[in-house]
Amino acid sequence: MHYRRAEEEPTLAQKLFGTSGIRGGISDKVTVDLALDLGRALGTYLSGGSTVAVGTDARTSRVALKNAFLAGLVSTGVNALDISIAPMPAVASQSIVSGLSASVIVTASHNPPTDNGFKFFVGGREMVKSEEAALEKHVFARTFRVASWRDVGKVARADIRSTYLERVRRFLLSRSQTADGMRVLIDSANGAATEYTPTLLGRLGFLVTTMNSHHDGHFPGRLPEPSPSNLADTMRVSAKSEAAVTLCHDGDGDRLAVIDEKGRFVDQNRIIALFARDEVQRRGEGLVVTSIDTSSVIDEVVEAAGGHVVRVPLGSLQERLSSDSRREIVFASEPWKPIFTDLGGWMDGIAGAGRLAQMTFDAGNGSCIRLMSSIPEYPVLRDQVACPDAIKPQFMANVREMLLSRINNVQRVLDIDGIRIECSDGSYVLVRTSGTEPKARVYIGARTQDSLDKLAQISRDVMKRALDESGLH
């Protein structure tokens, strides 16, 4: 075994990892060359003789990227378990299986079909920033371990579906018993969860109808992001069906979107609040970790149940889950992506689908609308503006100063990711710049539409002035 510096190639982008793994176009960022180097980098980071599980979503580029990654990995003396097409939660769960050092999925999650990417898991959670930085260092330095001919790694194949589904089924049965024939509709987006979520819910006693339910990396039924605009057809089908609830995924199954029996999209903040309250109530207390871009309805509901909410920067849930306080965390989530810590430290839209169906059957008495009636519904607004990378620091400095001078009833200011100003009337505004695109985003929430409109007008004025004074024009 020795280390070799590969021949110099054109410099890659300064940073490979964004807020959720590596993603990008397969012709200009997530190429087979990068896949090869990522396999080499992970193998160099791990010890020789380790074994890594590798799966993919259903995208058309999956085979080329997976095989390039496997080639790089085994060249370092690390063994691989090829698990073929599998949803992200199932792949992530492999990182806690005895004998496996890590797991990797080739996926771009909810991105367009032209993209692909990579996510890495250790110990049941996504890699934290320091671990990602170690992989980046190997890629940029181009110093890779090279196994001798005797020590080249081997590739075996495995089907993990039954093992993962049984793990989730046991978790869900610890929360509720099997259902009695309640109808559910599942939209799998032609993605990796296609053969998982319907099977799971069927085993729990639900009557399942599916749509967009075969693997197809072209995503012919709809684009993979389960947003209200992409789910327009699904909402129409749902409204005409007999389903008590409709459960929708993205391309790799870490996301869950919910549609009620009247075909209406349920706001993600309310879903987070519902799950979080349930987990807190089971213990009478507990810590809920959520991302900076979520609504104050979560705080209201969780605190009433005896819990406490902590917010972290977008893409940093895994940092908190890897800390000493993990045992105190009863639930964590970004919008769309629930983490049930009693199950594991990964985002799991499949387990979320099962739990939401159970709660609809139990607390909702077969009605998603009835289930959600106990979670307040407050108006929210999200918007974005163009913001070149070069002016982002000055833009954010301007935004902070201007917002604080315009908003009178400030209760708390969070500076952990952009600036989030929380007001005494329960309203809030968050402005942050994107880590992957030349954009700035604003998130606004309030208890009333009038308060939302006022904050929205202030935010638009401030962002326009901040851009002007940052030298955009």
How does pLDDT run along the chain (473 residues), one tens digit per residue? 554 554 444 344 568 998 889 999 999 999 999 999 999 999 999 987 899 999 999 999 999 999 999 999 999 999 999 999 999 999 999 999 989 999 999 999 999 999 999 999 999 999 999 999 999 999 999 999 999 999 999 999 999 999 999 999 999 999 998 888 999 999 999 999 999 999 999 999 999 999 999 999 999 999 999 999 999 999 999 999 999 999 999 999 999 999 999 999 999 999 999 999 999 999 999 999 999 999 999 999 999 999 999 999 998 899 898 876 677 999 999 999 999 999 999 999 999 999 999 999 998 789 999 999 999 999 999 999 999 989 999 999 999 999 999 999 999 999 999 999 999 999 999 999 987 778 999 999 999 999 999 999 999 999 999 999 987 65
Q: Which architecture, in CATH terms, is 380-469?
A: 2-Layer Sandwich (3.30)
Q: Contact 90/162 with Cβ under 8 angstroms?
A: no
Q: Contact 337/239 with Cβ under 8 angstroms?
A: no
DSSP letters for 65-93: HHHHHHHHHHTTT-EEEEEEE--HHHHHH
Q: How many whole angstroms separate alpha carbon 86 and alpha carbon 119? A: 13
Q: To 10 degrees, what angle do helices 268-283 and 297-304 make?
A: 20
DSSP helix/strand/coil, 322:
coil
Q: Exposure of 401 by Cβ count < 10 A (0-12 exposed, 13-18 middle, 19+ buried)?
A: middle
Pick the closest to residue 248 from 174, 357, 91 (CA basis). 357
Q: How many whole angstroms separate alpha carbon 166 and alpha carbon 272? A: 24
Q: Exposure of 356 by Cβ count < 10 A (0-12 exposed, 13-18 middle, 19+ buried)?
A: buried
Q: Contact 290/329 with Cβ under 8 angstroms?
A: no
Tell me the pairing of strands 51-56 and 419-423: unpaired
CATH of 2-158, one of 3.40.120.10, 3.40.50.10440, 2.30.290.10, 2.70.170.10: 3.40.120.10
Render the burial of 370-398: b for 16+ CB within 10 Å, e for the rest: ebbeebbebbbbeeebebeeebbeebbeb
Strands in 216-322 per DSSP E = 245-248, 257-260, 287-291, 308-312
Give phi and psi for 371, each to the nearest 5. -60, -45
Q: Contact 251/189 with Cβ under 8 angstroms?
A: yes
Is the backbone of residue 189 left (phi > 0), alpha (psi -120 to 50) or beta?
left
Give residue 7's pLDDT: 46
Catalytic option among 109, 213, 295, 427: 109
What is the CATH topology of the domain spanning 268-348? Answer: Alpha-D-Glucose-1,6-Bisphosphate; Chain A, domain 3 (3.40.120)
Torsion (CA) 116, 117, 122, 123 in degrees, nearest 10? -40
109 is catalytic: yes
Give residue 434's pLDDT: 85
Q: How many whole angstroms separate alpha carbon 465 and alpha carbon 377? A: 32
Tokens for 357, please give them. 């169906």
Pick the closest to residue 289 from 256, 319, 253, 268 (CA basis). 319
Query: What number of helices (H) and strands (E) belong to the chain?
Result: 14, 22
Q: How many whole angstroms separate alpha carbon 436 and alpha carbon 439? A: 8
DSSP letters for 156-220: EE---HHHHHHHHHHHHHTT----SS-EEEEE-TTSGGGGTHHHHHHHTT-EEEEES-S--TT-S
Give residue 256's pLDDT: 98
392 to each of 296, 386, 389, how far by Cα in Å? 26, 10, 5
* Residue ranges of domains in the chain: 2-158, 163-260, 268-348, 380-469
Pick the closest to residue 445 from 374, 382, 375 (CA basis). 382
One fold for 2-158 and 380-469: no
Q: How many whole angstroms separate alpha carbon 162 and alpha carbon 196? A: 9
Give residue 11's pLDDT: 43
Q: Which CATH class is domain 163-260?
A: alpha beta
Q: How many whole angstroms separate alpha carbon 120 and alpha carbon 118? A: 7
Pick the closest to residue 357 from 250, 202, 224 (CA basis). 202
Q: How many whole angstroms separate alpha carbon 18 and alpha carbon 15? A: 8
Q: Contact 65/32 with Cβ under 8 angstroms?
A: yes
Give residue 131's pLDDT: 95
Number of residues that this document lists for the chain: 473
